[in-house]
């Protein structure tokens, strides 16, 4: 069943000079229910904008975004966003941050919130840190809070906007393995934006490779690696082949960006 | 084992600060005793101490202190009650900011003392005019800090609130206000200092009680020991009230440490 259906989505932002900046151009993607789709591409290719469209934070200037066949009109409790910057309230404890979404949506009665929160604290492995504040936690633990907060509202779709980009390389590996473990339990539909090819391959059922022209799909690649996956899978021939293939698609763009954005 | 060296390393800042203060007091006393300058003009720590004692014994100290504290509390309290909602409105709502901004900067850049003759005419000589002056001194700081605190909320938190489809009232009470709280309290701390200046200046000009009045009264009689005594009391009030707010601030940011 098609869960997220993006048809010819176009996003433009008004510029101070009166012109318009084209962030995403005629983007097409269908995501099945329970599917894990990663979007990978160079910086500034409109990856995060696409997530914002699905979340309802940005209205497309052209085309349409459908969820379960209905047009997206704004944010809703069927979707939850996980942020690169974690977006935790620094004055709230872990526990209280995780219940934030539930509080804001006013759907779950107060009495049931506590049980839900402790369930998700356990799921993301933060037992014993309930009363800690974000600044007392490592980056990886902070994002565990971010993930638990998103899961706690029981969304059908999890939108992840480069959630591990602010973490160091080792933590990042561990967190993506953790994410898969959690996803195996929850079976949400996941749309995951990243600029890490490794991460994109490791997590995905399908990978959407974007190119520099704003939001243009270079290729959509199905990943046939078996699940559940552990980190050793990164040494398998198929993984290496996919990684090399995607790098081939992105290299030209990456070289251009690394070389001081010549030509942009 | 705790040695003197350890203690020194731990408390070097307060230790050296006190040392400097004591040295200055000694120098002052010596300068006065050895008549490096006219003792009537420069007074001396012991003369100030005697003046302070006499002031307390006659009971006038408590009357002056009470008057000034009362003026300070009313002016500061009123400026907080008016200033915080104004600052919130300006930080939250652009049109409100544009409409009120000229007044804030007018008050901020005008020497407020120049309103004094008007206050005297409108409110009469005495407590009311002094409170009005201190109120103006204080409120600007509160408005500016509150506005900045409300305005400077992390945009990613706003995005988070919108993503959860937060109601406006929740956005305000769960994100904006707690996020601005520290800036608001810092504004209160600075405003308290400014309110104290307003009180003392007002009393210097015209009053029949209060610490500023004590200064102008004895200043006119060239009794500088008494003048320094009231300065001392004013400094104590300033430091004590500011520290009180600092304690409160430290409690508020307990989530930071």
Contact B226, B55 (CB under 8 A): yes
| Residue B1: predicted pLDDT | 63
Of the two residues A67 and A250, the one the predictor is more confident about is A67
Give me the mean pLDDT over the B30-35 stretch.
Answer: 94
Per-residue tokens: B46: 């012991």
Contact B157, A91 (CB under 8 A): no
Residues of chain A with Cβ-Cβ distance to B164 below 8 Å are 75, 80, 100-101, 104-105, 153
pLDDT at residue A262 greater than cutoff 50 = no
- SS3 of residue A65 by DSSP: strand
Q: How far is A76 from chain B (nearest CA, A)?
A: 6
Picking from B165, B180, B254 by the largest number of A CB atoms within 10 A of its own CB, the best residue to mutate is B165
Picking from A58, A88, A89 by the largest number of B CB atoms within 10 A of its own CB, the best residue to mutate is A89
User: Per the CB < 8 Å rule, is B174 touching A133?
Assistant: no
User: What confidence tens digit (pLDDT) does each residue in B185-199 have?
Assistant: 999 999 999 999 999
Per-residue tokens: A74: 């704004």
pLDDT at residue B8 greater than cutoff 90 = no
User: Sorting pLDDT into bands at 50, 70 and 90, what band is A175?
Assistant: very high
DSSP per residue, B31-91:
HHHTTSS-HHHH--HHHHHHHHHHHHHHSHHHHHHHHHHHHHHHHHHHHHHHHHHHHHHHH
Give me the mean pLDDT over the B198-221 stretch.
Answer: 91
pLDDT at residue A181 greater than cutoff 60 = yes
Which ipTM value was assigned to this complex? 0.90
Q: How far is B173 from chain A (nearest CA, A)?
A: 11
Contact B204, B215 (CB under 8 A): yes
Residue A245, Cβ neighbours under 10 Å: how many?
A: 16
User: Sorting pLDDT into bands at 50, 70 and 90, what band is B7?
Assistant: confident
Question: What's the rounded Cα separation, in Å, for the pair A92 and B176?
Answer: 13
Contact A21, A178 (CB under 8 A): no
pLDDT at residue A264 greater than cutoff 50 = no
Per-residue tokens: A151: 């899961």
| Residue A251: predicted pLDDT | 85
Nearest to B91 by CA among B105, B80, B101: B101
Give me the mean pLDDT over the A59-69 stretch.
Answer: 94
Picking from B158, B164, B177, B183 by the largest number of A CB atoms within 10 A of its own CB, the best residue to mutate is B164
| Residue A260: predicted pLDDT | 57
Question: What's the rounded Cα separation, in Å, for the pair A189 and A183?
Answer: 9
pLDDT at residue B71 greater than cutoff 80 = yes
User: Sorting pLDDT into bands at 50, 70 and 90, what band is A78?
Assistant: very high
CATH code, B45-256: 1.10.3720.10
User: Per the CB < 8 Å rule, is A105 touching B165?
Assistant: yes
pLDDT at residue A174 greater than cutoff 80 = yes
pLDDT at residue A163 greater than cutoff 90 = yes
Q: Which domains does chain A have, with CATH numbers?
A: 1-78+157-247 (3.40.50.300), 81-154 (no CATH)
The residue behind tokens 């079976």 is: A187
Nearest to B234 by CA among B205, B192, B175: B192
Nearest CB to B163: which of A55, A90, A106?
A: A55
Give me the mean pLDDT over the A152-176 stretch.
Answer: 95
Per-residue tokens: B181: 């709280």
Question: What's the rounded Cα separation, in Å, for the pair B120 and B128?
Answer: 9
User: Per the CB < 8 Å rule, is B162 touching A83?
Assistant: no
Cβ-based contacts under 8 A for chains A and B: 58
Nearest CB to A85: which of B156, B163, B166?
A: B156
pLDDT at residue A213 greater than cutoff 90 = no
Question: What's the rounded Cα separation, in Å, for the pair A259 and A263?
Answer: 10
DSSP code of A228? Answer: S
User: Per the CB < 8 Å rule, is A91 touching B255?
Assistant: yes
Rounded percentage of chain B residues whose pLDDT exceeds 70: 99
Nearest CB to B163: which of A57, A85, A89?
A: A57
| DSSP H or E stretch at residue A209 | strand A206-211
The residue behind tokens 């304690």 is: B247
| Residue A243: predicted pLDDT | 95
pLDDT at residue A261 greater than cutoff 60 = no
Question: What's the rounded Cα separation, in Å, for the pair B211 and B249?
Answer: 28
Question: What's the rounded Cα separation, in Å, for the pair B43 and B237?
Answer: 22
| Residue A263: predicted pLDDT | 45
Q: Which residues pair with A191 in a beta bridge?
A: A37, A159
User: What confidence tens digit (pLDDT) does each residue in B87-131 have?
Assistant: 999 999 999 999 999 999 898 898 989 999 999 999 998 899 999
User: What confidence tens digit (pLDDT) does each residue in A97-128 have?
Assistant: 999 999 999 999 988 999 999 999 999 999 99
Lowest mean pLDDT among A16-30, A171-185, B68-82: A16-30
| DSSP H or E stretch at residue A158 | strand A157-161
Angle between helices B224-252 and B60-92 (to 10 degrees): 40
CA angle B177, B140, B194 (to 5 degrees): 110
Average model confidence (pLDDT) across chain B: 93
């Amino acid at each position: 069943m098609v869960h997220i259906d993006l048809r010819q989505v176009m996003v433009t932002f008004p510029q101070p000079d009166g012109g318009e900046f084209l962030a995403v151009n005629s983007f097409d993607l269908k995501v099945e229910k329970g599917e894990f789709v990663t979007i990978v591409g160079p910086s500034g290719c409109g990856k995060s904008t696409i997530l914002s469209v699905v979340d309802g934070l940005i209205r497309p200037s052209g085309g349409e975004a459908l969820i379960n066949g209905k047009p997206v009109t704004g944010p809703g409790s069927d979707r939850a966003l996980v942020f690169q910057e974690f977006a935790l309230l620094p004055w709230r404890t872990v526990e209280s941050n995780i219940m934030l979404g539930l509080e804001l949506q006013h759907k779950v009665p107060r009495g049931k919130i506590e049980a839900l929160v402790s369930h998700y604290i356990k799921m993301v492995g933060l037992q014993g840190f309930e009363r800690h504040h974000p600044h007392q936690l490592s980056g990886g633990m902070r994002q565990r809070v971010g993930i638990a907060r998103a899961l706690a509202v029981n969304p059908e779709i999890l939108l992840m906007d480069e959630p591990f980009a602010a973490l160091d390389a080792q933590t990042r590996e561990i967190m993506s393995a953790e994410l898969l473990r959690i996803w195996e339990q929850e079976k949400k539909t996941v749309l995951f934006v990243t600029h890490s090819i490794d991460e994109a391959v490791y997590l995905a059922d399908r990978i959407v490779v974007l190119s520099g022209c704003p939001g243009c799909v270079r290729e959509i690649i199905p990943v046939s690696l078996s699940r559940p996956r552990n980190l050793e899978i990164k040494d398998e021939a198929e993984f290496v082949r996919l990684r090399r293939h995607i790098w081939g698609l992105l290299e030209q763009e990456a070289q251009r960006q690394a070389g001081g954005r010549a030509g942009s | 084992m705790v040695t003197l060296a350890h203690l020194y390393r731990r408390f070097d800042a307060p230790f050296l600060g006190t040392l400097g203060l004591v040295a200055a007091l000694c120098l002052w006393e010596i300068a006065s005793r050895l008549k490096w300058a006219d003792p009537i003009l420069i007074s001396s720590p012991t003369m100030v101490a005697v003046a302070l004692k006499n002031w307390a014994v006659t009971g006038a100290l408590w009357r002056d202190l009470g008057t000034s504290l009362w003026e300070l509390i009313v002016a500061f309290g009123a400026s907080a009650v008016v200033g915080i909602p104004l600052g919130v409105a300006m930080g939250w709502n652009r049109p409100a900011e544009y409409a009120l901004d000229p007044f804030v900067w007018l008050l901020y850049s005008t020497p407020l003392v120049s309103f004094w003759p008007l206050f005297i005419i409108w409110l009469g000589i005495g407590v009311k005019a002094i409170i009005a002056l201190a109120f103006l001194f204080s409120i600007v700081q509160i408005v500016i800090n509150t506005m900045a605190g409300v305005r400077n909320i992390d945009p990613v938190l706003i995005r988070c609130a919108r993503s959860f489809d937060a109601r406006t009232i929740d956005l305000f009470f769960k994100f904006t206000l707690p996020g601005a709280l520290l800036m608001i309290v810092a504004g209160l701390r600075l405003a308290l200092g400014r309110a104290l200046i307003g009180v003392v200046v007002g009393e210097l000009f015209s009053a029949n009680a209060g610490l500023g009045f004590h200064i102008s009264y004895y200043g006119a009689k060239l009794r500088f020991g008494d003048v320094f005594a009231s300065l001392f009391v004013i400094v104590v009030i300033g430091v004590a009230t500011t520290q009180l707010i600092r304690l409160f601030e430290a409690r508020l940011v307990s989530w930071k440490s």
